[in-house]
Structure 1
Amino acid sequence: MSDDAARRRARMADARLYVVSAARTPSGRLADLIPSLAAAGVDVVQLRERGLPDDALLDEARACAAAAAAAGVLFIVNDSPALARAAGADGVHIGQGDGAVAEARAIVGPDRIVGRSTRGGAMLDRAAAEGADYASVGPVRATPTKPGRPPVGLSAIADAARRARLPWFAIGGIDERLVARVGALGARRAVVVRAVCDAPDPAGAARRLRERLVGAVPRVMTVASTDSGGGAGIVADVKAITRAGGFPLCAVAAVTAQTTIGVEAIATIDAEMLQTQIGCVAADIGLDAIKSGMLAEPSLVEAVCAALDALDPLEEVPLVVDPVLRAESGASLLGPGGDDAYRRELLPRATVTTPNLFEAQALLGTDVDDPAALARELHERHGCAAIVTGGHGATADDTLCDAEGVVAIPGPRLPVRSTHGAGCTHSATLAALLGGGMPLRQAAAEAKRTATAAVAAGRPIGAGAGPVDVVAAR
């Protein structure tokens, strides 16, 4: 490999923000914008132009190539290997219908880059196998730049983050909100079109997009209550979300006066206030996952559901429902009618619910003590996956039922008393991992390991069941 080839491929591997534009934008000629885009953090510029005669298109491509070289960014031509070579571009990007990668490379030469459009999955694997230097995955959302092409959705982005064997970019409808979402799911790179080219200030838009992409971590909201003893509730959730690599957000449903022995008092938040907490954060910061914990009253369960219904369904935000019905000490944490509100309102909206054995029995109105039967019944009744957490039955194993069936998630039973907050730690960890795009079964196994480690590191303080400590867990 020549020095030029190595330099181009290394810069593509390090790239984060890729802008695709016609030769002319509302702000002016693309070639003239390239210096300011480069200064704003754009790493790659692609010329996608279908409205110019060949000679005019070559002139624009050469001007862009010269501007990109001077600014230190890569310049790519769309579709045409011959134009890329004639203009002195750094490479070409080809679609699925534009021939083989080898054919494009034969035209542009071995020193230049060849990129391939894919919809993720097997297409992404084939792009790597045929020798593409990078790929795009999308469109994530329906976009006028790809008319008639159905979106691949966010699941394809999470899958690409796990499987890709070459540099890849999320593409399709990427704006300042979506770029943070795909970044949280593992996309390190993004292609933008209108969000930069149609912006009144293209450089400013590019700068904000790059900042949001580079700084993306799963934004995970706990909708729960306080535990003044620090073992469970929002305090435990925040620690677990942070430990799992997420950025914690919260909506407070109730405040408790609570110790390791019991709950001395509960003061609930106004239902409208709870709904507003969730809604304002979702609108401004955005959400990658939500975990619900202690909600105290049916009206608060309903407020959470109203807030969930107001979210954009295209953002596909997973919801982990930890049906907190009783404290570790046995005290009731849910008012009359709360179980029905969970069954009627919240569980049908959940991605997964994480009751312990007793909570599963209460939700199903049964005394059956078989975790597999309980998990299966919860899944069949409500449509969500169900994890009946271990520790209260014959074994310490968790039991998961999803669309693929029932599976046991093993874990040891630890001879310790410091177990307060294990369920909160488990569900909050699970939410953070799902928010980062991890598949459910893998996330459930990791959440089990994390909760077990938090119990092992628990603090033997207080007169009752001491708090777990996920921060000290190893």
Structure 2
Amino acid sequence: MGVIAAAAGARRRARLDDARLYVVSEARTPSGRLAALIPGLARAGVDVVQLRDRRLDPAGLREEARACAAAADAAGVLFIVNDSPELARASGADGVHIGQADGAVAAARALLGPDRIVGRSTRGGAMLDRAAAEGADYASVGPVWETPTKPGRPAVGLAAVADAARRARIPWFAIGGIDARRVGRVAAVGATRCVVVRAVRDALDPLGAAALLRERLVGAVPRILSVASTDSGGGAGLLADVKAIVRAGGFPLCAVAAVTAQTTIGVDAHAPIDADLVRRQVAAVAGDLGIDGVKTGMLAVPAIVEVVAEALAALDPADEVPVVVDPVLRAESGASLMGDGGEAAYRRVLLPRARVVTPNLFEAQALTGIAADDPERLAREIHGRYGCAAIVTGGHGARSSDTLCDDAGVLEIPGPRLDARTTHGAGCTHSSTLATLLARGVPLREAAAGAKATATGAVAAGRPLGAGAGPVDVVAAR
């Protein structure tokens, strides 16, 4: 390879490394010719443009590809053609993207030379590993959601995206069903690059649509909704949730369920928020900002448990938003924080919607109606009845460890029993951390261990304030 070709290859791969937004389109879009749109798309933040058009005859496709290649070169973006290394070479494209069954990477490389880019479609997992081993310069992972551009191809889901974020050895792009609403979901679980088709191609304002996608992808942070109540002492409730969410790498959102006048000794008074207002808070956040994870805490009365379950049911199940239910039934001081019938409401409507429920020993007994002190039995019972994973947190019984039961069985998550009275808010810190880690795509068992460690650290760094159990401090924890 000559010096000029080597320099061109290095420039292409540097652009690929920096690429975030990749647009696929036919030669003719509702807004005009793709080649004419490329300069504007580049200004809007598009880094890669791919021509995929099966309607054109070979001569017409070659003409459009050459026009796109010239426009992309002038605009400083990468231009890729679909499937055909021959077309990529003939048109002067920067490279080719080949499907899962559309030829070998080595064959494309032999035709194009080492200075051009070769991409490969994958469904993640072992296919992503094989793409890297084949020598692909980049890969796509998807479809994340079902999409009419790939009819009949089942979605891989967000777990495949999160897995790719951990395992990929080459640049990769999430693809499939991604739009301005869902781009934050893939970004939350670790995607830093994405491919879009209809979200730009079919937009009334494709340049504005591209700019918005770019902004939301680059600025994404997991959005975690805490549906909980205040604690005027700051150790538990919404304030504890906010601190833990930020510490775990999320952006906190809230729906206030109740207000308490609370000290480290007890709850002097508490009042629930109107249930319909709680529902509207959740709906407002979901409709405008979007949600990547949910933690529920003190819900105060059965009516609020009911409306929270209804609001969560309105979320798109395809978005796979993890819900962590911390069934706050009483305060650290022993004061009741749930109205009559609350346990029944949890069992009937909320636990079936949870990904994980995180009761302490006493709450697990109340939810199951079993007086046993065996956390494994209680965790198994909750998982078996409601289908959600259950973590019976330690600290209230003979064990300091947490006990997790999920589809894979029972796991004990060890942790020390600290000689500290600064335990107020440990449960809130644990569940909020867990919700944030799950929203980031961390596997459940790893997330549970991380939440346990964070809560333990928050107790160790707690503040000896007040006459009773002092507040934990997750911000000061190491």
Q: What TM-score, normalized by structure 2, do the two folds share?
A: 0.98
2:305 paired residue number = 301
Amino acid corresponding to residue 234 of structure 1 in structure 2? L
Structure 2 CA distance for aligned equivalents of residues 292 and 460 of structure 1 = 27
Deviation of 1:75 after TM superposition, in Å, equals: 0.5
Structure 1 CA distance for aligned equivalents of residues 179 and 427 of structure 2 = 36
Deviation of 1:395 after TM superposition, in Å, equals: 2.2
**Structure 2 counterparts to residues 49-68 of structure 1, below 5 A:** 49-68=53-72
Deviations 1:146-174 (A, max 9, x none): 11212212222122112211111111111
Secondary structure at 2:462's aligned position in 1?
Answer: coil
Say yes or no: does 1:77 pair with 2:81.
yes
Deviation of 1:394 after TM superposition, in Å, equals: 1.5
Amino acid corresponding to residue 229 of structure 1 in structure 2? G
Match among 427, 439, 455 for residue 435 of structure 1: 439
Say yes or no: does 1:15 pair with 2:37.
no
Secondary structure at 2:54's aligned position in 1?
Answer: coil
More off after superposition, 374-383 vs 440-449: 374-383
Match among 310, 316, 321 for residue 312 of structure 1: 316
Say yes or no: does 1:152 pair with 2:129.
no
Structure 1 CA distance for aligned equivalents of residues 203 and 61 of structure 2 = 23
Structure 2 CA distance for aligned equivalents of residues 51 and 268 of structure 1 = 61
Deviation of 1:96 after TM superposition, in Å, equals: 1.0
Amino acid corresponding to residue 419 of structure 2 in structure 1? P
Q: How high is the sequence identity, in percent, across the aligned residues?
A: 76
Structure 2 CA distance for aligned equivalents of residues 365 and 151 of structure 1 = 40
Deviations 1:228-254 (A, max 9, x none): 110000000000001101000000110
**Structure 2 counterparts to residues 365-384 of structure 1, below 5 A:** 365-384=369-388
Deviation of 1:175 after TM superposition, in Å, equals: 0.6
Deviations 1:5-29 (A, max 9, x none): 2221221121000000111111111
Structure 2 CA distance for aligned equivalents of residues 82 and 414 of structure 1 = 67
Deviations 1:27-55 (A, max 9, x none): 11111111100001000000111122212
Deviations 1:111-161 (A, max 9, x none): 101000011111111111111110011111222211121221222212211
1:414 paired residue number = 418
Say yes or no: does 1:108 pair with 2:112.
yes
4+ aligned runs moved over 3 Å, structure 1: none
Say yes or no: does 1:183 pair with 2:187.
yes
**Structure 2 counterparts to residues 248-263 of structure 1, below 5 A:** 248-263=252-267
**Structure 2 counterparts to residues 213-224 of structure 1, below 5 A:** 213-224=217-228
Deviations 1:323-363 (A, max 9, x none): 10110000000111101111111111110000111111111
Deviation of 1:207 after TM superposition, in Å, equals: 0.2
More off after superposition, 58-67 vs 416-425: 58-67
**Structure 2 counterparts to residues 114-193 of structure 1, below 5 A:** 114-193=118-197
Deviation of 1:259 after TM superposition, in Å, equals: 0.6
1:35 paired residue number = 39
> Can you give the 5+ residue segments of structure 2 that lack an aligned partner in the other structure?
none
Amino acid corresponding to residue 401 of structure 1 in structure 2? C
Deviation of 1:4 after TM superposition, in Å, equals: 2.0
> Can you give the 5+ residue segments of structure 1 that lack an aligned partner in the other structure?
none
Structure 1 CA distance for aligned equivalents of residues 187 and 66 of structure 2 = 33
Say yes or no: does 1:344 pair with 2:348.
yes
Say yes or no: does 1:203 pair with 2:207.
yes
Structure 1 CA distance for aligned equivalents of residues 257 and 148 of structure 2 = 42
Structure 2 CA distance for aligned equivalents of residues 91 and 281 of structure 1 = 42
Amino acid corresponding to residue 143 of structure 1 in structure 2? T
Say yes or no: does 1:234 pair with 2:238.
yes
Structure 1 CA distance for aligned equivalents of residues 415 and 14 of structure 2 = 43
Secondary structure at 1:122's aligned position in 2?
Answer: helix
Q: What TM-score, normalized by structure 1, do the two folds share?
A: 0.99
Say yes or no: does 1:282 pair with 2:286.
yes
